[in-house]
């Protein structure tokens, strides 16, 4: 079957975004990758697939370079928003989970292209020797330190890759706080960025306010999420939107995403979450701001 989001993006929304001037100098695409491998992780649906083959990833990075894009990190992006700096052809590259193939397959391509990136680690999955979890190998702390020395940034993706929305306040503080402390200890540098595991429940305002306060109290200054879109000035700094990329992203679709053609999907995504949230409330009672049912 044809991929509806691709058709709508390339043939409707991307042309419309160019017509309306949505390729603003004050919009930054933050791309999110996971595994750079052929591992399908049981997901055959192009929308949910989290792997990008090494050959596709290499083609995407080389196209970015040839198209004039340059990478910045999240802190540079936030500072540029505050000072009104030019952000045309700037892109942020992020990688969730901490798979070993970042070290073996992604980093050599990034280095060839002169690109930087931020890797968000689920800290319990990173060990002194490579851990294999559900058929996937993860980075070791030695590799993390080596990558950090080469200019790769690291952030927290919680301790256990937990669904924070289902946890109580003490568990949430542990997932956010201990992962930060562990990564800081291993790389010898502050960790100020967080990537929310699973789909961000952005429709639950009480929970997101509580989570933002907790992140700030623990010393984080910014965070990214699964909300779809490019980052604009005024976005909530702890739940910045990103653009998912995988093996199904040909260069035409990648260009459309970078130039605002995929931002439309945030609204169907939000309404889908909103509908499921309300169904859950009706089925199981309300939820307090700390994430526990009552």
Query: How many angstroms separate the most distant Cα atoms in the chain?
Result: 54
> How far is residue 220's CA from residue 212's CA, in Å, rounded to a whole number?
9
- Beta pairing, strands 132-133 & 136-137: antiparallel
- Is the pLDDT score of 292 beyond 50? no
> How far is residue 156's CA from residue 160's CA, in Å, rounded to a whole number?
11
Which tens digits make up the pLDDT trace of 153-164?
999 999 999 999
Q: Any residues with CB less than 8 A from the CB of 162 and at least 6 apart, and which?
A: 171, 175, 197
Q: Regarding predicted confidence, which is higher, 212 or 19?
A: 212
> How far is residue 61's CA from residue 218's CA, in Å, rounded to a whole number?
34
Confidence of residue 124 (pLDDT cuts 50, 70, 90): very high
> How far is residue 270's CA from residue 273's CA, in Å, rounded to a whole number?
5
If you average pLDDT over residues 5-25, what whole number do you get? 85
Out of 1-15, 186-200, 218-232, which region has the weakest mean confidence (pLDDT)? 1-15
Across the chain, mean pLDDT equals 91
Q: What is the DSSP letter of 125?
A: G
* Percent above pLDDT 70 for the chain: 90
Q: Helix (H) and strand (E) counts for the chain?
A: 11, 12
- Is the pLDDT score of 260 beyond 80? yes
- Is the pLDDT score of 270 beyond 70? yes
Q: Do residues 168 and 174 lie in contact, with contact meaning Cβ atoms separated by under 8 Å?
A: no
- Is the pLDDT score of 291 beyond 50? no
- Is the pLDDT score of 285 beyond 60? no
- Beta pairing, strands 90-97 & 30-33: parallel
Which tens digits make up the pLDDT trace of 127-152?
999 999 989 999 999 999 999 999 99
């Amino acid at each position: 079957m044809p991929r509806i989001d691709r058709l709508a993006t390339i043939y409707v929304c991307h042309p419309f975004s160019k017509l309306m001037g949505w390729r603003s100098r004050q919009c930054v695409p933050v791309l999110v990758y996971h595994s750079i491998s052929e591992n399908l992780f049981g997901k055959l649906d192009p929308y949910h697939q989290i792997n990008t083959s090494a050959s596709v990833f290499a083609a995407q990075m080389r196209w970015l370079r040839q198209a004039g894009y340059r990478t910045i990190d999240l802190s540079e992006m936030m500072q540029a928003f505050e000072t009104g700096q030019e952000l045309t052809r700037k892109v942020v590259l992020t990688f969730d989970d901490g798979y070993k193939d970042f070290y073996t397959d992604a980093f050599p391509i990034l280095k060839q292209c002169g690109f930087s990136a931020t890797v968000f680690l689920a800290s319990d999955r990173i060990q002194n020797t490579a851990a294999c979890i559900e058929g996937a190998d993860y980075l070791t702390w030695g590799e993390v330190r080596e990558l950090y020395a080469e200019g790769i940034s690291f952030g927290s993706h919680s301790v256990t890759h937990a669904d924070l929305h289902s946890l109580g306040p003490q568990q949430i503080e542990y997932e956010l706080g201990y992962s930060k402390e562990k990564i800081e200890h291993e790389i010898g540098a502050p960790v100020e960025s967080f990537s929310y595991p699973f789909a961000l429940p952005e429709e639950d305002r009480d929970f997101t306010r509580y989570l933002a306060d907790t992140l700030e109290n623990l010393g984080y200054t910014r965070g990214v999420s699964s909300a779809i879109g490019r980052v604009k000035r005024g976005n909530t700094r702890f739940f910045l939107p990103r653009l998912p990329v995988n093996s199904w992203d040909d260069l035409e679709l990648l260009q459309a995403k970078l130039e605002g053609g995929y931002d439309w999907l945030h609204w169907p995504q939000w309404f889908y979450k909103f509908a499921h949230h309300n169904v859950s409330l009706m089925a199981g009672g309300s939820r307090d701001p700390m994430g526990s049912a009552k």
